[in-house]
Amino acid sequence: MSVIFIFILFLQVTPAGAQVVYEYGFESEWSGWSADQGIWDVGQPTPPSPVAHGGSRCAGTVLDGNYPMTNPSRLISPSVRLPNVSGDEEVHLRFWQWFSYTPNDAGYVQISVQDDTTGAWSDWANISNAIWGTSAGWSLMDLDLTAYAGKEIRIGFWHTIVYAYENLG
């Protein structure tokens, strides 16, 4: 399995158009991104994984083989202050993904919000449905983050393991 993210965008969508708040394509190593269990990698994928979607590099659980069946792991974004919105404005997270999960394993997109008073980060909360199975190719995911407008957030890509199978990385 590999959940590969190549291009991350936080957009403020207004009636007049979209404004990019943050974007990153993994062409320059980690740049503030981190992984909590060391399974995630940044680099150039090699077969059997597909080539990166735009550019030559991406992030994934394994870029040249099967993901290990040891620990779940989270790819964590740098913190981003989302803009305040009003009226019909919205804030969205958009990213390209390719994945191949073994049965019962899955991925989730998660969010953690910083408390403006204490500076403490909230527990991770799922903001997507389970991502499972095998994708037909690269696909664009769009998640509405308007409920978090004006907040300092981090995005997590949570890779979970249920059974000891192996699949492409």
Percent residues over pLDDT 70 in the chain: 83
Please tell me what DSSP assigns to residue 116. Answer: T
For the cut 90, the answer to whether the pLDDT of residue 146 exceeds it is yes
**All residues at 6 or more sequence positions from 136 whose CB lies less than 8 Å from its CB, including other chains:** none
What is the pLDDT at residue 169? 47
Residue 13 one-letter amino acid: V
Say how far residue 44 (Cα) sits from the centre of its chain: 17
In the chain, the domains with their CATH numbers are 4-160 (2.60.120.200)
What is the pLDDT at residue 127? 97
Instruction: Read off the pLDDT band of 31 (50, 70, 90).
Output: confident
CA distances to 61, 75, 149 from 30, rounded to whole Å, are: 14, 10, 25
Residue 65 one-letter amino acid: G
Tens digits of residue pLDDT in 61-118: 877 777 777 778 899 999 999 999 999 889 999 888 888 888 888 899 999 999 999 9
Backbone dihedral angles phi then psi of residue 147, each to the nearest 5 degrees: -60, -15
Average pLDDT, the chain: 83
SS3 38: coil
For the cut 60, the answer to whether the pLDDT of residue 168 exceeds it is no
What is the pLDDT at residue 1? 47
Q: For residues 164 and 78, which has the higher predicted lDDT (pLDDT)?
A: 78
